[in-house]
Amino acid sequence: MKRIENFKSIIDKYDIIFFDAFGVIKTYQGLVPGIHKTFDYLEAQGKEYYIVTNDASRSPVQLAESYHRHGLKHITHDRIVSSGMLTKEYLDLKVDDGIVAFLGTPESSHYIDSSGLHTLPVSQINADNIDKVNALIFLDDEGFNWCDDLNKTVNILRKRTIPVIVANTDKAYPVSLSDVGIAIGGIAAMIESIIGKQFIRFGKPDSQMFMFAYDLIREYRPISKKQIVMVGDTLQTDILGGNKFGLDTVLVLSGNTLPKDADNRITSTGIVPTYICDSAVVGLDGFDF
């Protein structure tokens, strides 16, 4: 584990950079100040990059638009790999027909829409259509009535033996400097524990996320895992997942892991990044805009 002063030296070492989104590129307040310099430098150097995110609430196109609105024009939708894309792949491969019930916003569901399948919010499942429900998906913590629809979800899953997909494994996410929100991954874990069935989880640290990005690259060029580095702010997802997939990893201290806690957390979890760096912002030395 090495401390790195300037994120620039990380970029110089690798051909491809995987970035986590939240806590690395953006926070609840908007973009991480100065992060555009990192993408300027990446483009100037001809390096490739992907955003590997557990955010399944919107499609890559919508996520990219959100970066653009905030002034970061570099990130295009084809650079974004989300746990929602794995969910969509699962449905394409494994669910042939019928209804896919979901918890989340309408936006999140359009995204997983697939030919032959009918997505329907849990609130619209009833005695008439429950027998056609062939999968249930936890997409987002918004867009439904928690009390009504979580109780309904429990009872649908007691009646139907179907695959249940959790498209975002996070338990909580920051909503302000001091507050967090309960994420759909936390809600899904409660339902799983109540009904005692095993759900399918996509999202870091699961290696399928990294594999998806890795496969995207391999479609147009040969690559070795040695040429890729994963940059993230969370030991249990970004760093553990990147390490396990065989990538070098950088823990940045601009999000979930505070500078004062980093060493303690690494020791207590046993999850060791290859590098630690204050942020993913390229510093001034030797490269200025």
Contact 162, 135 (CB under 8 A): yes
Q: Which residues, in sequence order, are CB contacts of 220 under 8 Å at separation 6+? A: none
Contact 3, 270 (CB under 8 A): no
7 binds a second copy, rule: CB under 8 A: no
Q: How many helices (H) and strands (E) does the chain have?
A: 10, 16
198 binds a second copy, rule: CB under 8 A: yes
Q: Which of residues 32-71 bind a second copy (CB under 8 A)?
A: none
Task: Please name the residue ranges forming H helices in the chain.
Answer: 8-13, 35-44, 60-69, 83-94, 106-112, 146-159, 184-195, 207-218, 240-245, 262-269
- Using the contact rule CB under 8 A, the part of the chain among 3-11, 72-80, 116-124, 151-159 near a second copy is 151-159
Of 31, 130, 189, 216, the one binding a second copy (CB under 8 A) is 189
Of 44, 61, 180, 284, the one binding a second copy (CB under 8 A) is 180
Cα separation of 102 and 112, whole Å? 10
The phi and psi torsions of 56 (rounded to 5 degrees) equal -110, 15
Shortest Cβ 239–a second copy spacing (Å): 10
95 binds a second copy, rule: CB under 8 A: no
Binding mask 252-271 for a second copy (x = CB under 8 A): ------------x-xxxxxx
- List of residues contacting a second copy (CB under 8 A): 89-90, 93-94, 145-147, 150-151, 154-155, 157-159, 161-164, 171-172, 178-182, 186-187, 189-190, 193-200, 206-208, 211, 225-226, 236, 240, 243-248, 264, 266-272
